[in-house]
Copies of this chain bind each other. A is one copy, B any other.
């Protein structure tokens, strides 16, 4: 890659730029965003080489364009850059919902471009902004690519190599399966954490509640501090899969609530044991993956 344009130079876009520069995988990184102060900061931090606040200007002459903005801005951006895209420009994104990205692209382009490779790095934390960017954010993490039928193998290989250069393990799957899995493992837990923190904050005893809470609640609610705009857009973009996950979750909560109501200790014990064992299995998977990376 000679020249890459990253639209949205925050935690995710900025960390990608840092990692590509670290590995000399790109000659020039152009940033794009609406906040000049933040883009100047990105230059200071060595994250980007230059910037342009106009997307159509920023992507000119780029080999690769990365859309690292909230889901709700994707379609507008695609419309803005469409007139200046070269035939062989590769376009990828980092959004948390993939079917809606394909819908947006279909809306803008009619036929999906060969260069479009929807992607989603499973990385990040509750921080945001370019100051939070880290050169090793993607080290050992998964990146899911959901190429469509017209995606060229050249574009797919280029995006795959880009993420592998950053230390990520790249997987391909259908956009629908991606959305289902992410709804279950990320979007649902965020909604649950948002709900819990709101419930606690609205309690008449909220002062005592936060005063006497311990480390377990800190871990459990960490994701509630994530960016509200990003999560609004995720909920709008992956609505159907999220609502289905909430419904399944409610059925499980119903079952647990019923055994508490009936003081059914045996069922509680077996249900908690199953959860305990499943969590231990999950922890071992994560630990093994960290040892590998």
| Interfacial residues, chain A to chain B (CB-CB below 8 A) | 72, 122-125, 141-142, 144, 171, 173, 177, 180-182, 184-186, 188-203, 205, 208-229, 231-233, 235-236, 239, 242-243, 245-246, 248-253, 256-257, 260-261, 263, 265, 268-269, 271-276, 278-283, 285-286
Contacts and interface: CB of A to CB of B under 8 A. Distances in A.
B274 A185 contact: no
A22 B24 CA distance: 54
Most buried by B among A122, A185, A263, A274: A185
Contacts of A285: 210-211
A229 B270 CA distance: 9
Q: How many copies does the complex hold?
A: 2
Contacts of A273: 228
B213 A223 contact: no
Contacts of A275: 193-195, 197-198, 201, 224, 228
Contact of A263 (B173, B222, B239, B245): B239
B194 A256 contact: yes
A221 B271 contact: no
Contacts of A246: 253, 257, 260
A181 B201 contact: no
Most buried by B among A201, A214, A251: A214
B216 A189 contact: yes
A-B CB proximity, top 7 nearest: A228-B272, A201-B278, A194-B275, A185-B213, A224-B279, A219-B219, A225-B279
